Structure 1
Amino acid sequence: MDRHDGPHGEVVLRQYGDTLQIIANGCFLMDTSDGRSERRLVDAAREALDLRERPEASAVPRPRARPAVLIGGLGVGFSLAHAAADARWGRITVVERERAIIGWHHDGPLAPLTAEALADPRTEIVESDLVAFVNETSDTFDALCLDIDNGPDWTVTEGNDSLYTPAGLASCARVLRPGGVLAVWSARPSPEFEGTLWNAGFQRVRTEEIPVARGVPDVVHLAVRPG
């Protein structure tokens, strides 16, 4: 349907039957066939925040501001649309480095999937490389939902590898407020990455499997920045 050569290589939008697929440098990223694990990425982060915010039985509940979420990767828009459909989220910031993908959502074939979310005043789309963004921004968030690769062990470009190292995870922690949640989507579990999360100082590290129609379950790696 469309093809662009950008600073990070080739990005293609392809149609297969009723399904739209995004391919980057020949590597399949995601498609519109399912989306349950991308939605679960957002819900798992929200549930982890709910546990943090649950008051003690003897305490008097205090009103809290709605949490801000940073979504790394726009893709076909499942995570964004799902977050925007949840009134419990406050500010929703999406970082996407591919201008072509952003364009497909604004006035292209992917627009029907995210038009309502993009019109939501809580939503902001930032055209930036997420690796650079978490190192440079002065903003902070309650949750970071990371979905820019096929997982910590299967990155789209070599430059993304650094994000899953202790130094990269320290940058992720830097943009999280105390008690903030990091949720990382992956096409397969990575026990080694769990260890890296612990070694980077995160707490309550766990991995949740999400059954999908295409076979091997996707997973969400979850971790909490210490309060």
Structure 2
Amino acid sequence: MPLPDDFRTATSDLAEVLDRREGPYGEAVLRRRGDRYEIIANGCFLMDTSDGCSERALVTAALDAFAEGSPGTAPRLLVGGLGVGFSLAQAAADPRPRSVTVLEREQAVIDWHTAGDAPLARFAGTGHRDPRVRIVHDDLLRHLAEDGSAGRYDVLCLDIDNGPDWTVTESNDSLYGDAGLALLRRTLTDRGVLAVWSAAPSADFERRLAARFRRVWSIELAVEAERGLPDVVHLATR
């Protein structure tokens, strides 16, 4: 006897926990829901593999902005957050970066890309095989403050929270404040570009950016039906 359609739908919506780990920043969980994978960080839904358009747009918008101000220059790109791999996939698919550094503070996320059957590896496209790419296990702020990164990168693409007003952990709040933005500015070259992904527009964050950067603007990307709010990339140039 065939199963009713509503039973198939309900079953496919059930989330299967594939891995759950406690780390220095809280709990990291990888779930599978049908053919979709989800990352839950510290009890907060972070991202899934259902689309990735806005994560890819983050990288493209930042590289386009840098090319506008520095035509013909191959940028050194830093991606904050490996996640499910969409940003890395876009960076690797773009011939413009001379180097791509990906900072990821959760060892679990790196393992889901590189260890064993690596369920998330395919979502990173050619990123894991690209000789330009280096994946670093470290916290973004700590790495930039202690690793001599001043003036090192031409483009910074940050997708480590749901936005400046919706952080995964309280320790991330400082990234979007005056001290964090000052550090990000110092990390950029003179014509560098900062791009920050957000699940919703943030006028307060734009004002803080405007106090540190020469030009600030935002790009609305997509509308999430349940929230009715657009995904946004906040951009700033030195």
Structure 1 length as normaliser, TM-score? Answer: 0.91
Q: d(CA) in 2 for partners of 1:155 and 1:163?
A: 10
Q: d(CA) in 2 for partners of 1:155 and 1:115?
A: 27
Task: Output the amino acid matched with 1:34.
Answer: D
Q: Which residue of structure 2 aligns with residue 221 of structure 1?
A: 234
The equivalent position to 1:208 in structure 2, one of 213, 219, 227, is: 219
Q: Which residue of structure 1 aligns with residue 15 of structure 2?
A: none
RMSD over aligned CA atoms reads 1.2
Structure ranking higher on relative contact order (CA contacts 8 Å, 6+ apart) = 1
| Deviation string, structure 1 residues 155-195 (Cα, Å, up to 9, x no partner) | 00000000001110000011110010000000000001000
- The reply on whether 1:149 has 2:157 as its aligned counterpart is no
Q: Which residue of structure 2 aligns with residue 170 of structure 1?
A: 182
Task: Output the amino acid matched with 1:177.
Answer: T
Q: d(CA) in 1 for partners of 2:51 and 2:214?
A: 31
Equivalent residues of 1:74, 1:80 under 8 A apart? yes
Q: d(CA) in 2 for partners of 1:148 and 1:211?
A: 18
Task: Output the amino acid matched with 2:89.
Answer: A
Q: d(CA) in 2 for partners of 1:115 and 1:101?
A: 16
Work out the number of aligned pairs and report it. 215
Task: Output the amino acid matched with 2:143.
Answer: F
| Deviation string, structure 1 residues 49-91 (Cα, Å, up to 9, x no partner) | 111024xxxxxxxx53x11100000000000011001111110
By how many angstroms is 1:116 displaced?
2.2
Q: Which residue of structure 2 aligns with residue 193 of structure 1?
A: 205
Equivalent residues of 1:205, 1:221 under 8 A apart? yes
Q: d(CA) in 1 for partners of 2:169 and 2:35?
A: 28
- Percent of pairs with identical residues: 58
Task: Output the amino acid matched with 2:110.
Answer: I
By how many angstroms is 1:213 displaced?
5.2
Q: After TM superposition, list the pairs within 5 Å mapping 1:118-157 onto structure 2.
A: 118-139=128-149, 140-157=152-169
Unaligned runs of 5+ in 1: 55-62
Task: Output the amino acid matched with 1:110.
Answer: L
Unaligned runs of 5+ in 2: 1-17
Q: Which residue of structure 2 aligns with residue 59 of structure 1?
A: none
The equivalent position to 2:48 in structure 1, one of 13, 31, 38, is: 31
Equivalent residues of 2:37, 2:49 under 8 A apart? yes
Task: Output the amino acid matched with 1:138.
Answer: G
Task: Output the amino acid matched with 1:166.
Answer: D
Q: Which residue of structure 2 aligns with residue 92 of structure 1?
A: 100
Stretches of 4+ aligned residues off by more than 4 angstroms: 212-215
Q: After TM superposition, list the pairs within 5 Å mapping 1:50-69 onto structure 2.
A: 50-54=67-71, 64=73, 66-69=74-77
Q: Secondary structure at the match of 2:229?
A: strand
Q: Secondary structure at the match of 1:126?
A: strand
Q: d(CA) in 1 for partners of 2:203 and 2:87?
A: 24
